Structure 1
């Protein structure tokens, strides 16, 4: 990782940054050096193909959110932290990296919502779950149905993460779960 920049006079090259594995050997997100850091990051899949470029006020939290949303596409990352954050500087670096890549990665194009928005469980409902929701007579029963679907999808997601070797535990936002959305708390 490069040292934190004040305000870069030259934009950092994505190619020159060190690639970090997404997970440590013990199955945790490999972000111990990023906790609470502002920065820009690029996420790569198992074939080392760029999938997403984003920036965040807390890179550590963002890396976890992306792992939850797209576990099969998060195998390594590159990052540049910034000591004195500026949205314009971060956006300039993002545009530079996207141009350097030569093409827009899926997470910054057609699949952007999958990378940046909470997981909506409603489209993932089974016919039985849809019928149960349709038959729910009051808001309390509808909320209960949606929460059950969210728990099922969360369980499937945690199984996929475990299959990847992830041992870290995650806490989902219970208020959003009532709305049928999965997002880390």
Structure 2
């Protein structure tokens, strides 16, 4: 929508081992370690009480890798009280260093680079300083460059450096064309920002739109009341979020499961959940029947954890769109009984914790193809072709 002729405004909405594997480890936390060398830390509001301290000795590798967007879809980095300046590094979705910058207001600097490059700004690392010392800041940046073997493209290449450091140019020539092109460019950026799951408000700067450029207004400082509200929201979010450790391809891995809604049903419980794995969040609605927890002295939430650990080990696509094929599992909306029908080794999740769940033979399994009609002919033809190919192969010595 537009607040005036030259204002573009939008409020963004919205932002997953085989048999014998151990029971997933469940903790009540909103901090998780991503697969790889870095620690992934979810943050809430930018107002910790600890004072800023010099951190020039911090190497880039030793700093926490933090998502630009927190679990609430907000840009709210931890900034110690008394911070006068920050040196920050931006990483892409694959955790590759893209750009290193300086800031006197880390929150708004992250907002700016995120809005200019929503396709590139996924994670950040930062050093917060108690005083603005340009020589010290340059020294930190230089040390980081040396640590990674040279400046990243966002600092080294002129076009990339411009994309990170300057407002986005829409590219029109005439005065009227500049305005329309800039408004169109702003809307494109806002769509990309929304698609990342951002819940922050971004309002385009009016004077820059007239020049055919796009940048967004800085966010106002949060009041004490707003900060208290954010803390409460973060506490509730942390309480509803579980960090689950499990084994994937023989290596330790983790995912986060957040319960948004919990409903009682005649046959058990229904949950709306968000699953975050490998830095991608997906939403699901899951029906948990009583038969999967009531007789086993388990909580329905435990069944959710077991099920998503199982589905992640199976590398099941965590989001589907449009019409589903008969070979696709509806990960968006499913019942635990459907998982039981699709995979006959799902019962092992109970066996691994010393329980016995009625498994194979209980269901007609949806993932088994039975030949009827035309399908039977197709399967017969396929088997015949495979047999003929086998006959043409030379005998093994």
TM normalised by structure 1 equals: 0.81
Q: CA deviation at 1:68?
A: 1.0
Give me the whole-angstrom Cα distance separating, in 2, the residues matched to 1:104 and 1:91: 13
- 1:152 equivalent in alignment to 2:184: yes
Q: Which has the higher helix share?
A: 1
Q: Which has the higher strand share?
A: 2
Give me the whole-angstrom Cα distance separating, in 2, the residues matched to 1:32 and 1:146: 38
Spell out, residue by residue over 1:43-78, the C-alpha distance to the aligned partner (whole angstroms, 9 max, x if none).
111111001111111111111110011111111111
Runs of 4+ in 1 over 3 A off after TM superposition: 32-37
Q: CA deviation at 1:34?
A: 6.7
> Alignment partner of 2:107: what SS?
helix
Q: How many residue pairs align between the two structures? A: 166
Gaps of 5+ in 1: 134-141
Out of 122, 135, 138, the residue aligned to residue 88 of structure 1 is 135
Alignment of 1:15-164 (within 5 A): 15-31=61-77, 33=79, 37-110=84-157, 111-122=160-171, 125=172, 133=174, 142=175, 144-164=176-196
Using CA pairs below 8 Å that are at least 6 residues apart, which structure has the higher relative contact order?
1
1:115–1:155 distance in 2 versus 1, CA, 3 Å:
same
Out of 42, 53, 56, the residue aligned to residue 5 of structure 1 is 53
RMSD, aligned α-carbons: 2.2
Tell which structure's C-alpha radius of gyration is larger. 2
Contact 2:73–2:199 (8 Å) recurs in 1: yes
Gaps of 5+ in 2: 1-40, 42-49, 218-397
> Alignment partner of 1:25: what SS?
coil
**Structure 1 stretch 23-32 or stretch 65-74: which is displaced more?**
23-32
